[in-house]
Amino acid sequence: MNREYHRWHSPALNREMELIVLGHAGARVLVFPTSNGRFYEWEDRGMPGVVGESLEKGWLQWYCVDSVDSESWYANWAQPAGRAYRQSQYDGYLFNEVLPFSESKNGNPFLITVGASFGGYHAMNFGLKHAEKVNRILAFSGLFDIRRFTGGYSDDNVYFNNPMQFIPNETNPYRLALLRRQDIVIATGREDRLMDSARDMSRELWAKGIGNALREWDGWAHDWPFWSKMLSLYIGGHD
């Protein structure tokens, strides 16, 4: 299997950022780590093996990115405005640096975002914000209302990085058309404390006519063995 390590100084974040590319062709997949996780987390957890044939045969190509969670939402030392601003810079890194990089390597227009736990937030947030670029969203055990990190504070950087705020207020016909063509899968364990978040996100999407598959798994299901099974089920659709 093709494996590449890349590192560059990000203008958006003003720091070095690293990522791994797995596979040589096919639909591009933007892979987010869990909270405070690193770009090699999914590889370390054996997740590429779940879709090994797809990576080997050129059906999928993964771009496993780093996080800056410790500088954004999980930066307890920072004010909410600073956390949200750093998240917006991270979004700029992904959109203006990682996506063009992936497009330069692979002309396949189909793009999937995937993440588990806090990576599920990133997959959903980036996917919904940039519906013109993202075709499928796979969010496992995710949190979708970021206001728990802001202590009541709000500004544009909070709002536009919080799907539970910007989706209910979306009225742009062009944006709604793009969102309605996406394939969105939300999978969470019924005993997971984030189950309500998943149900709320699914409901708000449906309220705007944005179809999505809410999959409620038995038990807690908030761990790598479960996410591995979710990936194997949903990466090609939502059976």
Residue 49 in this model has a pLDDT that exceeds 80: yes
User: What Cα–Cα distance (Å) separates residue 45 from each residue in 22, 73, 226?
Assistant: 14, 24, 12
From the number of C-beta atoms within 10 Å of its C-beta (0-12, 13-18, 19+), residue 225 rates as exposed
Higher pLDDT, 236 or 18: 18
User: What Cα–Cα distance (Å) separates residue 65 from each residue in 150, 218, 232?
Assistant: 25, 30, 20
Domains of the chain as residue ranges with CATH: 3-234 (3.40.50.1820)
- The Cα–Cα gap between 62 and 48 comes to 9
What letter does residue 97 receive in the DSSP assignment?
Answer: I
Contact status, residue 54 vs residue 235, Cβ threshold 8 Å: yes
Q: What is the pLDDT of residue 239?
A: 46
From the number of C-beta atoms within 10 Å of its C-beta (0-12, 13-18, 19+), residue 112 rates as buried
Q: What is the pLDDT of residue 237?
A: 54
- The Cα–Cα gap between 39 and 33 comes to 7
Dihedral sign, Cα of residue 72, residue 127, residue 159, residue 167? negative
From the number of C-beta atoms within 10 Å of its C-beta (0-12, 13-18, 19+), residue 63 rates as buried
Q: Where are the beta strands (DSSP E) in 83-162?
A: 111-116, 136-140
Mean pLDDT estimate for the chain: 97
pLDDT digits (tens, 9 = 90+) for 121-180: 999 999 999 999 999 999 999 999 999 999 999 999 999 999 999 999 999 999 999 999
Higher pLDDT, 30 or 237: 30
pTM for the structure as a whole: 0.97
- The Cα–Cα gap between 95 and 92 comes to 5
User: What Cα–Cα distance (Å) separates residue 64 from each residue in 54, 61, 137, 150?
Assistant: 16, 10, 15, 27
